[in-house]
Amino acid sequence: MPTHPEFTQDLHRQRLVAIVRGSDPEAALRSVLTLAEEGVRLIEISLNTPGAETVIARAVEEAGADAVIGAGTVITREDALRARDAGAQWMVTPALDKGFDHAIALGVPVLAGALTPTEAVAAMRAGAVAVKLFPASLGGPAYLRALRDPMPDVPFVPVGGVDAEAADAYFRAGAIAVGVGSPLLGDAPSGGDLAQLRRRAKAFQTVCAVGADV
């Protein structure tokens, strides 16, 4: 089973997964390219963004080596296939469902959505590169810390309600990275202010750099 060492290294080094979800395909693409310009390398484009496949394909082409473009909200077999066909370099699932199974079968790195200890162990055994702890806000950093006590080797990436302050707390609780949507993107993927997106990107990267020393 592939281990995807390059992607795993990026996850450990970057410590930030940007989640792009919006109502305007062109604005979503501009947000992706702005993040890449600011040094945010791991960028997930949710498949429930209108025109997501086109956004993914154009982002892969236009961002080039500056970003590793993934597809999020991979729920079904069809989702996994259209993400692959669009050029997604990794995939994210909200749960251990058919989308997860087929993403694994396609041989791409997969962040698997899980909440319970049983789900986390099942995800890693099935070949996930990391566990997307979702929704992380349900238990917060204390829940992550409790999970890591019996499972210190499982790489957890909390997603859901993670702002800059929470990101710091999750790193202290043992997260290898955090996945951030609206606290980072704001309304940029729907046509909002890219200057503010740049400011937030810098703020999150500062937190992630400090988190690497925890």
**Number of domains present in the structure of the chain:** 1
The domain that contains 45 carries what CATH number? Answer: 3.20.20.70
Residue 98 annotated in active site = no
Instruction: Give pLDDT, residue 2.
Output: 60
Mean pLDDT, the chain, whole residue set: 96
Which of 6, 26, 44, 202 is labelled catalytic? Answer: 44
Catalytic residue (one of 6, 61, 98, 132): 132
pLDDT in tens, 65-86: 999 999 999 999 999 999 999 9
Task: Give the pLDDT confidence of 170-183 residue by residue, as tens digits.
Answer: 999 999 999 999 99
Asked whether the predicted pLDDT for residue 113 surpasses 60, the reply is: yes
Rounded to whole angstroms, the Cα distance separating 192 from 158 reads 25
**171: containing domain:** 5-211
Q: Is the pTM of this model over 0.75?
A: yes
Where b means 16+ CB within 10 Å and e means fewer, 83-115 reads bbebebbbbbbbbbbbbbbbbbeeebbbbbbbb
